[in-house]
Structure 1
Amino acid sequence: MPSHLSADHPAAQPPPRGSVDALISQTRRLRGDMDAVRRDAPTDGTDPEGRWQRALCDLAMHQLNDLDAHLAQLRDGPRPVPVEPEAAPPAVRAVPAASSPHGSLISRVGSAEWNLLTDEASWSGELYRIVGRDPAAPPLTLDELPSVVLDEDRPRLTSMVTDCLIDAKPIDGEFRMLRPDGDVRTVHMMGEPVLDVDGSTVSMWAVLRDVSELRRSQRTVSETRDSLQRQRHVAQTEHRLAVELQEAVLPPWRGSLRPEQGPGTLELAARYLPSSTSALIGGDWYDAFELPGGDTLLSAGDLTGHGVTVTSGVAMLLGALRGMAVAGTEPGRLMTWLNQLFDASARPTLGSAVCCRYRPQSRTLVWAQAGHPAPLLFRNGTGRTLTPPAGVLLGATSGAVYGQAEEPLEPGDLLLLHTDGLAPLREGSPRPAAAHTGRPDLIGTDDTGGTVETGEGAAAVSRLLGLAPRFGEARTAQDCVRTVVEEFGETERADDACVLVARVTT
């Protein structure tokens, strides 16, 4: 049989054994380093980014294992076809199946030569294993080779072979083969025509590599990358929608609700402070609304959750709260009805809230709360926490009854409503629990069922009360809000927060 080398090209000398051994050693050291990186890669199957990183590590290991095997083959030379005893039963001559899609990472490489003059074929033993063919059977001729290729890939193989034999073009392409055991393998074929002295093609030789595992690993990388990109796109879209909805629900008030400010009216300012540890929009909210007859409704609260769902829940809650207040419902009764709405919701959730009704004629504040920090009252350079009436978290229990309290205000008084996320998270402090609203470590309950600040919540209130002298010197409610932001910063919270300031005009 003619040599697979063209008569025009002398045989290349094999590389020195020592240089190949050095390459093998370097490859194995790199493979060990890569394996260490792979072990450190995230293994949480629920995280798309972790799956993508893991898939990239596996792909790199595939490539390094292939390189190691190919260098070893280069060093040791091609494998001969194994000669089996004639007396051996068929079961002994059976060829082991190729590595399963989740088995060995090493690609198999075989070689073949087809003589066009004698129509003979010569295969290496490894090619028999790739195709899943009994080594005792004759190798497939070029005419028979398409019979083991999938129907949709046969035109590609035919085109590559035709271009090689007629136009002397090198072969470099892939196709899928169906093994007798039903396993489909992806094979990468590289080959060249062998020419005689007059330039005519006398045979064709090829190297065939089983790249099934490599292609599977590449598909995994691609799929996990696409999944990660889709997740990021969805998250970005949801975040944008949540921000737009929140901005519509929480306008940044500066000034009075009334066009003409007079004695006893409220000058307002508010601020939403996002979390520094999450890009998601939380459920903290504030609201101010002028009621028929001149009263003003002030409220603040926090719903569990993040994103579009909780932001739309805030919008619905504010609509219900305003509607009941317009109908004349007092804050205590209003909290009771809100709790019934939470209890009847198809999507169970928890929330905290404080609701105040200010009557400018008498300068009286009537208020109620549901598991929420009490308002702070500042007067003549000092501050104090209003004594909270009884009230549990919204949605915590059916049939809850909420108390109501009254507080007389004076010209120049400043009322501050805030959510519990204003307190910074200390090193080692627990994260907010999914079964509670906001920061459960900040709120406690007294003997009467009312809520009291505890732990970091109490520390935050103490810091707010310490701002009383600066509030007394402030010219506007907006200046007071700016003072709060300066005190607590905008990058120190593990949860988002809201601040609403209302100052009684003189």
Structure 2
Amino acid sequence: MPSHLFADRPAPQPPERGTVDALITQTRRLRGGVDAVRRDALVDDDDPQGRWQRALCDLAVHQLDDLGSHLGQLREGLTAEEEDAAALVVENASGPEPALAAPLSRVGSAEWNLLTDAVNWSEELFEIFGRSPENGGMSLDELPTMVFADDQALLTSMVTGALVDGRPIDGEFRIVRSDGHIRTLHMMGEPVLDADGCTASMWAVLRDVSELRRGQHAVRESREGLRRQRHIARTEHRLAVELREAVLPPWRGSLRLPHGAPGALDIAGHYLPSASSALIGGSWYDALELPDGASLLTVGDLTGRGATATGAMAMLLGALRGMAVAGIGPAALMGHLNQLLETTVQPALGSAVCCRYEPEGRTLSWSGAGHPAPLLFRDGAGRPLGTPDGVLLGATHRAAYGQAEVTLRAGDVLVLGTDGLTRRSPSDEAHQSRLLALAPLFDGGRTAQDCVRMIVEEFGEPERADDACVLVARIGS
């Protein structure tokens, strides 16, 4: 039987750089060409060379089918950027270790003559089994000694079916080489009958598919890992949404604080989700009537995304409400929040602004921690209030926070927002000038809800870089 080393010396030329669709088309064209060769080949069962050629055609069809399947899966999951990267990988596959080397497995052949007990192995089969040619090929009785214990029954069944029932062999088993390496082999073969219809010999082609199976296993694991990650992400998103809805103010639309008092605030707020992230951030807004008749107004934001950030926001907002109800002023309140963030199990940074409004004198006292100052709109113009000293929450140990005070008038409009409100992209700075430009629209007795609606129309673009909160308070007469 001639040596078939040529079968293990593929020299694949990498396809020109193109899309995955072009690669799929090329694979289908090759598949059709191999089919034509297989159909047109006149094979004499007594010709070992002809049987070998037929087996090679079958193997080529199997490999092209595998390649077409993998490319189809790749096309389904690729983004435009990933497709370019895939084309680049294919383009660079002409190096010493081409990307297509794994599917083009090593192939060897064997023939066992049952009449003379002669065994004929190709040189490549010795390489696959890690066996020296000086020791000769293994007989069918010796072959199971190298087969993985769990696969010995399978090999025995395939060989028995070929020798006794005349069935073709097509299956896989694992071998343990003398060097301890385990290889997975795909075996295809047929019995050769003599003139009386008895089995005279058996030939087989064995293909080392170890790398291919490892690749398929890696693909399955990656797919399962991706499914798990998506499930975790969906679960985390749902938890974050439910937690946010449970923590943020229960009121919708407008709110008047304090109830029935002169100079009461007309309040409205809104949360704008991010379109660029599937996870929810730690931003908040809140308004609360205090026991002494004053009102609390606050907005803020924590670093991070998902349930972790939302949980930290819930903790911080709960502490803020409790301390405000206890009568702690804005500056001292910021100091306590800073200490609270320092001592959490998962430290975070936060920015916040906290205002206390006393309706009797229409006095607003406020403090900020690394946050944009409240905006005051009056007589068709807007300006930021003076900024007291205050670093980010959780950034400095025992940080001190300043406090400012301003007297408001009936008809004034206060706007408090997180810095993500005016940011167009993650690299942008938050600019309050866009908000201040809305000043003429806020004049003329607009309600707080009207003002919020105009802000959302201006800043609620669908491709938001970050989630944001806005709170508007209009001073009553």
TM-score (norm 1): 0.73
Residue of structure 2 in register with 1:119 after alignment:
117
Residue of structure 1 in register with 2:315 after alignment:
316
Amino acid corresponding to residue 403 of structure 2 in structure 1: Q
Q: Is the 8 A contact 2:258 2:264 kept in 1?
A: no
Partner Cα distance (1:327, 1:67) in 2: 68
Amino acid corresponding to residue 152 of structure 1 in structure 2: D
Q: Structure 1 residues 340 and 260, CA, compared in 2 at 3 Å: closer, same or farther?
A: closer
Residue of structure 1 in register with 2:387 after alignment:
388
Q: Is the 8 A contact 1:302 1:419 kept in 2?
A: yes
2:469 is the counterpart of 1:498: yes
Partner Cα distance (1:67, 1:121) in 2: 35
2:464 is the counterpart of 1:486: no
Q: Structure 1 residues 9 and 141, CA, compared in 2 at 3 Å: closer, same or farther?
A: closer
Partner Cα distance (1:463, 1:8) in 2: 84
Q: Is the 8 A contact 1:257 1:289 kept in 2?
A: no
Deviations 1:153-189 (A, max 9, x none): 1011111111212221111111111111111111100
Q: How many residues end up aligned between the 2 structures?
A: 408
Partner Cα distance (1:66, 1:202) in 2: 42
Partner Cα distance (2:405, 2:258) in 1: 27
Residue of structure 2 in register with 1:350 after alignment:
349
Query: What's the CA shift for 1:378?
Result: 1.5
Q: Is the 8 A contact 1:66 1:107 kept in 2?
A: no
Residue of structure 1 in register with 2:376 after alignment:
377
Partner Cα distance (2:213, 2:98) in 1: 13
Q: Structure 1 residues 393 and 126, CA, compared in 2 at 3 Å: closer, same or farther?
A: same
Residue of structure 2 in register with 1:75 after alignment:
none
Query: What's the CA shift for 1:258?
Result: 5.7
Amino acid corresponding to residue 443 of structure 2 in structure 1: G
Structure 2: runs of 5 or more not aligned: 2-42
Query: What's the CA shift for 1:105?
Result: 6.7
SS at match of 1:310: helix
Determine which of 210, 214, 228 is the counterpart of 1:216: 214
Residue of structure 1 in register with 2:438 after alignment:
467
Q: Structure 1 residues 261 and 13, CA, compared in 2 at 3 Å: closer, same or farther?
A: farther
Partner Cα distance (1:212, 1:230) in 2: 27
Q: Structure 1 residues 270 and 119, CA, compared in 2 at 3 Å: closer, same or farther?
A: same
SS at match of 2:328: coil
Q: Is the 8 A contact 1:256 1:265 kept in 2?
A: no
SS at match of 2:368: strand
Q: Is the 8 A contact 1:110 1:209 kept in 2?
A: yes
SS at match of 1:282: coil
Residue of structure 2 in register with 1:154 after alignment:
152
SS at match of 1:335: helix
Residue of structure 1 in register with 2:14 after alignment:
none
Q: Is the 8 A contact 1:474 1:480 kept in 2?
A: no
Residue of structure 2 in register with 1:129 after alignment:
127
Residue of structure 2 in register with 1:403 after alignment:
402
Partner Cα distance (2:466, 2:118) in 1: 76
Residue of structure 1 in register with 2:289 after alignment:
290
Deviations 1:24-76 (A, max 9, x none): 9xx9xxx9xx9xxx9xxx9xxxxxx98xx97x979xx79xx9999xxxxxxxx
Partner Cα distance (2:151, 2:244) in 1: 54
Q: Is the 8 A contact 2:341 2:393 kept in 1?
A: yes
Q: Is the 8 A contact 2:258 2:293 kept in 1?
A: no
Q: Is the 8 A contact 2:338 2:393 kept in 1?
A: yes
Residue of structure 2 in register with 1:167 after alignment:
165
Matches within 5 A, 1:26-425: 106-251=104-249, 253-257=252-256, 263-425=262-424
Q: Is the 8 A contact 2:257 2:266 kept in 1?
A: no
Q: Is the 8 A contact 1:359 1:365 kept in 2?
A: yes
Partner Cα distance (1:315, 1:474) in 2: 34
Q: Structure 1 residues 321 and 259, CA, compared in 2 at 3 Å: closer, same or farther?
A: closer
Query: What's the CA shift for 1:269?
Result: 1.2
Amino acid corresponding to residue 127 of structure 2 in structure 1: R
Query: What's the CA shift for 1:257?
Result: 4.8
Query: What's the CA shift for 1:229?
Result: 2.2
Deviations 1:101-158 (A, max 9, x none): xx97742211111222333322111111111111111321111110010101101111
Partner Cα distance (1:12, 1:195) in 2: 13
TM-score (norm 2): 0.77
Q: Is the 8 A contact 1:66 1:106 kept in 2?
A: no
Partner Cα distance (1:66, 1:115) in 2: 38
Query: What's the CA shift for 1:250?
Result: 2.3
Amino acid corresponding to residue 129 of structure 2 in structure 1: V
Query: What's the CA shift for 1:331?
Result: 0.8
Q: Structure 1 residues 104 and 386, CA, compared in 2 at 3 Å: closer, same or farther?
A: closer
Partner Cα distance (1:124, 1:67) in 2: 26
Q: Is the 8 A contact 2:388 2:401 kept in 1?
A: yes
Query: What's the CA shift for 1:373?
Result: 0.8
Partner Cα distance (2:148, 2:260) in 1: 83
SS at match of 2:432: helix
Amino acid corresponding to residue 346 of structure 1 in structure 2: V
Q: Structure 1 residues 135 and 66, CA, compared in 2 at 3 Å: closer, same or farther?
A: farther
Q: Is the 8 A contact 2:162 2:190 kept in 1?
A: yes
Q: Structure 1 residues 227 and 174, CA, compared in 2 at 3 Å: closer, same or farther?
A: same
Q: Is the 8 A contact 1:186 1:212 kept in 2?
A: yes
Partner Cα distance (1:302, 1:473) in 2: 32
SS at match of 1:309: helix
Partner Cα distance (1:114, 1:282) in 2: 69
Partner Cα distance (2:279, 2:213) in 1: 37
Q: Is the 8 A contact 2:258 2:265 kept in 1?
A: no
Deviations 1:220-266 (A, max 9, x none): 22222222222222122212211221222224631225696554222
Partner Cα distance (1:151, 1:10) in 2: 34
Partner Cα distance (2:260, 2:153) in 1: 84
